[in-house]
Amino acid sequence: MGLVDKRLASLSPEKQKLFDMLLRNKGLPNESPNTQDPRMDDVSGTDTSDKSDFQLKRPLKFSLFFFSEEATDSSVNKYDLILESAKLADRLGFHAIWTPERHFHPFGGLYPNPSVLSAALAMITSKLELRAGSVVMPLHHPIRIAEEWSVVDNLSRGRVGLGFASGWHMDDFVFAPGAYELRKDVTFRNIEVIKKLWAGEAISWPGANGRETKVGIYPRPISKSLPIWITSAGSEETFIRAGEIGANVLTGLTGQSLDELGRKVGAYRQSLAQNGYSPDAGQVSLMLHTFVGENDADIKKTVRGPMCNYLKTNLGLHRNLAQTRNSAVDVQNFTAADEDALLTFAFERYFNGSALFGTPLSCTRMLKRLNEIEIDEACCLIDFGIDAATILEGIRHLASLKDRLEILGPPRVSTPVLLSQSAQPKGANHV
């Protein structure tokens, strides 16, 4: 039994409950980390080949995802990282770049409006798809969303894709206080409004004095159809509802394990089929903390501090939730030593099984696992606290991994089709 295991075994039952809560929220199993790095299974040991016989069952695209960089008032170059990353990713053949919508907190505070930032990215890239990950639909008027992103679509010559989220943080709803309770229904209802506007239809909407006003959007989008994702924090119901409307899914490993995610992907593809879409047409995009380098030991050293800070923030959130909900978990006696042991344990689990950390070779096991559960896109979250120069170098190593997987993968199918001939000719990833 290692030192971390001994420290965990000495925790009181109350502290173990808090620990279990943290691991469940991160989608991590509550078991001792292996002494052998599980990412090295099938790519190390007596077999010294590069596993070039590993054949992907379905294409796997690679994109960059921004989410957590802190906004610091002291810096006048706040957006240099995303701008330089976008230019580099465009040159290296990445598929897309995702920008989120975050409000009222330094953590993620650089990203209050993905349409504004995507407009800037449109001017410095030529091939990279520009995606919102995600627009919080209930906070905005759907006609305004369609207008703004039509501008970005024109600036980018048709490279826009939108992820939509229903929102979760009550503070965000100062923009639309009345939408909070019905936020999921509002999201799906307004997606239909945006689809009609994007297709060139005029819609009626209540105007001044309750008068119905018929409006369309200008400028007209360049792309004839709008790729749409539904963001899910792990609810299987959301996966199924996405399938019902032929939308893609954007998700992560916070709150769900890979096994759990695989079951939800299966339910999603079944929902697609039941609603007249090809089950292989829908795209499942997975957010993954990512850093690829030349040496596993150096990679672990690079990501340990930033990831422990990330997990510590998560632990603090659960401490606050436990207190506000009058939980039976006693957090007052949770010492710094306890926290250090838990964070060390959680980091090992996260590093070895819930992120894309490693060399182009040692990442193979994770990518094989993603392929097994039918993930279509690795959305590589890179801005979690590593310095900018190291991140940019990591993108170059990630490109090597991407290129290797493209050689091993099957041909891409560019136009998904409906099973039902009577339905409208729209693909599940373009609705």
pLDDT digits (tens, 9 = 90+) for 183-215: 999 999 999 999 999 999 999 999 888 889 999
Q: Burial, 346: exposed, middle or buried (Cβ in 10 Å; 0-12, 13-18, 19+)?
A: buried
| Residue 40 belongs to some domain of the structure | no
Pick from 137, 75, 147, 141: nearest CA to 106 = 75
The more confidently predicted of residues 30 and 93 is 93
Q: Which long-range contacts (CB under 8 A, 24 or more apart) does 271-276 make?
A: 271/239, 271/240, 271/241, 271/242, 271/243, 271/244, 272/243, 272/246, 272/428, 273/419, 274/243, 275/243, 275/244, 275/245, 275/246, 276/418, 276/419, 276/420, 276/423
Q: Residue 100 pLDDT more than 50?
A: yes
In a domain, 144, yes or no: yes
311 part of a folded domain: no
Q: What is the mean pLDDT of residues 59-83?
A: 83
**Mean pLDDT computed over 318-337:** 52
In a domain, 98, yes or no: yes
Closest by Cα among 81, 137, 89 to 114: 137
Q: In angstroms, rounded to a whole number, what is the distance separating the alpha carbons of residues 155 and 159?
A: 9
- Please check whether residue 87 lies inside any domain of the structure: yes
Q: Is residue 177 part of a domain?
A: yes
Q: What pLDDT shows up at residue 54?
A: 61
The two three-digit tokens of residue 237, written as one number: 């119901």
pLDDT value of residue 169: 80
| Residue bearing the bigger pLDDT, 428 or 119 | 119
Q: What is the mean pLDDT of residues 377-388?
A: 94
Distance CA 248, CA 84 (A): 28
Pairing state between β 160-165 and 203-206: unpaired
Could you list the beta-strand ranges (E) of 152-239: 160-165, 203-206, 212-215, 228-231
Mean pLDDT of 328-353: 71
Our count of domains for the chain comes to 1
Q: Does residue 304 belong to any structural domain of this protein? A: no
Q: How many CB atoms neighbour CB 425 within 10 A?
A: 9
**Stretch among 142-146, 211-215, 238-242, 408-412 having the lowest mean pLDDT:** 408-412
C-alpha triplet 304, 26, 260: angle, nearest 5°: 130
Residue with tokens 């954007």: 250
Beta-carbon neighbour count of residue 330 at 10 Å? 14
pLDDT of residue 168: 80
Phi-psi region of 37 (alpha: psi -120 to 50; beta: other; left: phi over 0): beta
> Mean pLDDT for the chain?
82
* 107, 284, 301, 372 from 376: Cα distances, Å: 28, 5, 29, 11
CATH of residue 92's domain is: 3.20.20.30
Residue 419 has pLDDT above 90, yes or no: no
Residue 81 has pLDDT above 70, yes or no: yes
Side chain identity, residue 427: G
pLDDT-derived band at 392, boundaries 50, 70, 90: very high
pLDDT of 74 higher than 80: no
Residue 314 counted as domain residue: no
**Residue 300 phi/psi, 5° resolution?**
-65, -40
**CA 128 distance to own-chain centroid:** 17
Note the pLDDT of residue 52. Answer: 43
What's the rounded Cα separation, in Å, for the pair 88 and 312? 31
Residue 100 sits in which domain range? 52-294+359-408
User: What does the pLDDT read at residue 42?
Assistant: 41
Rounded to a whole number, what is the largest CA-CA distance in the chain? 77
